[in-house]
Amino acid sequence: MSEHITTDILIVGWGKAGKTLAGALGRAGRGVTLVERSESMIGGTCINIGCVPTKALVHQAELRRPGDDPATWFDAAVERRDSLIDRLNAANRAMLEPIDQVRLVVGATAAFVGDRRVRVTAGGAQLEISADTVIVNTGAVPRRLEVPGADGPRVHDSTSLQHVSPFPARLAIIGSGAIGLEFASMFAQFGSAVTLIDRGERLLRGEDEDVAASVRQALTDQGVTILHGATTTRIDDDGTQATVRTTSGDVPADAVLSAVGRVAATAGLGLDAAGIAVDARGAIEVDDLLRTSAPGVFAVGDVNGGPQQTYVSYDDHRIVLAQLTGGAPRSRADRVAVPTTVFTTPPFARVGWSEREAREAGADIVVHAKPVAQIAAMPRPKTLGETHGIIKLVVDRGTDQVLGAALHTVDAQELVNLIALAMRTGTTASALRDGIWTHPSTTEALNEVLAFTPAGR
């Protein structure tokens, strides 16, 4: 017979939104129980297997010199990665353990057994928890590649590839989304011969052609082979190598990365028992206040089908916290100009409309764009020895408001935040153009690019 407890707030999953809500509500005097399935996931996906460890590896890959042995360098980079993650994992536990009102249940699975009732199982022990409010924060997991051989010993997801051994002299990557692009750039710089298998006719199909071409050029200059129009049909393994069979030819490899997307982690949660609806993709359906179809149950982070970004999850926590504490109302509808970054080398960041999207919407626009290597006012990329890229902004002709930007350049992950803020606050393109920026910085590009319009644009 299982033990039964009651709590004000039950949070399932220790991701960004969950841990931040647990800390804020616990400090406010609310009784919080936080359930996390895995010791290795304390702190959530971002710090353990996602954003932070992969970017640590990207940085180490960028530091490798041509004469450095790839396998030795990679192993040392993984050691540094693991040391960093161990510290962050411990720090995340320490954030919540001292809060008396927060109860941590780690190493246990959770499943709904009724309205706001969850059964938690660890080994043979069970604990049933009833709560006034339940917050589901279980994140997302890699999508399974549905072809024969996808479960072979040399086939990895983005988590297991971070510890691949031995280091692959040849790496095949199936999928050209953000994860596929980041790992292609990273492993090429570590020293792998990388083949990127892309079903489309070009990379970044949602982007303008000039922007996509810039990213492609950087990858090919790093040594990445890109196979376009290629659908994977099976993966064979003869005991010495894997061979990815595609409609455009065979790709032999020492390791294969399946990077075909991530799906909401809802398996085994017993959502039906609580009347929680999911959409066609398996994500929990929520409204703009992140309420599910079950009263008193919220879904935050990747599991609710929104953008799979840590900073979006952080904003999710603010939306829910306001409702539980009576703070200023906040909604997903309030989100404007949310930026994204793909951490290739150099990184590629985007906010707002592309040129194509603006024209399709009927906007009267001025396009400002220049290849990074031609921006005289921005010497920072030259000082770093990385001049790949393009900076492109789309501006409304009548209002001078920035409608969107594509930034493929060093420091793009920082510059995009400034442009996003300008879009949210109504700061004009002319104000950005005439700004006084530090030197040498990537921001200086705005002085020159916003004063230049390519011919015919």
Closest alpha carbon to 345 in 179, 181, 111: 181
Write out the residue limits of the CATH 3.50.50.60 domain(s) in the chain: 3-142+263-334, 155-260
Q: What is the Cα Rg of the chain in Å?
A: 24
Per-residue burial over 327-341, b if 16 or more Cβ lie within 10 Å, else e, is eeebebeeeebbbbb
- Name every residue whose Cβ is closer than 8 Å to that of residue 125 and which is 6 or more positions away in sequence: 2
Per the CB < 8 A criterion, the answer to whether 12 and 303 are in contact is: no
pTM of the full structure: 0.96
Per the CB < 8 A criterion, the answer to whether 244 and 168 are in contact is: no
- The alpha helices in 338-453, defined as continuous H runs, are 355-360, 380-384, 412-425, 429-433, 445-449
Closest alpha carbon to 11 in 29, 1, 23: 23
Give me the average pLDDT of each 10-residue run along the chain (457 residues): 88 96 97 95 94 97 97 98 96 95 95 97 91 97 97 97 98 98 98 97 96 98 97 97 97 98 96 97 97 98 95 97 94 97 98 98 97 97 97 98 98 98 98 97 97 76
CATH class of 155-260: alpha beta
End-to-end Cα, the chain, rounded Å: 72
**Predicted pLDDT at 327:** 86
**Predicted pLDDT at 413:** 98
Element (H, E) at 19: helix 16-27
Instruction: Give the β-pairing of 232-237 and 242-246.
Output: antiparallel
Catalytic residues: 439
**Predicted pLDDT at 364:** 97
CATH class of 3-142+263-334: alpha beta
Rounded CA separation 138/11 (Å): 9
Question: How far is the CA of 161 from the CAs of 61, 99, 146, 184, 416, in angstroms?
Answer: 14, 36, 19, 12, 29
* CA 193 to mean position of chain CA atoms: 25
**Predicted pLDDT at 456:** 61
CATH class of 340-449: alpha beta
Write out the residue limits of the CATH 3.30.390.30 domain(s) in the chain: 340-449
Per the CB < 8 A criterion, the answer to whether 250 and 238 are in contact is: no
The position carrying tokens 């995009």 is 416
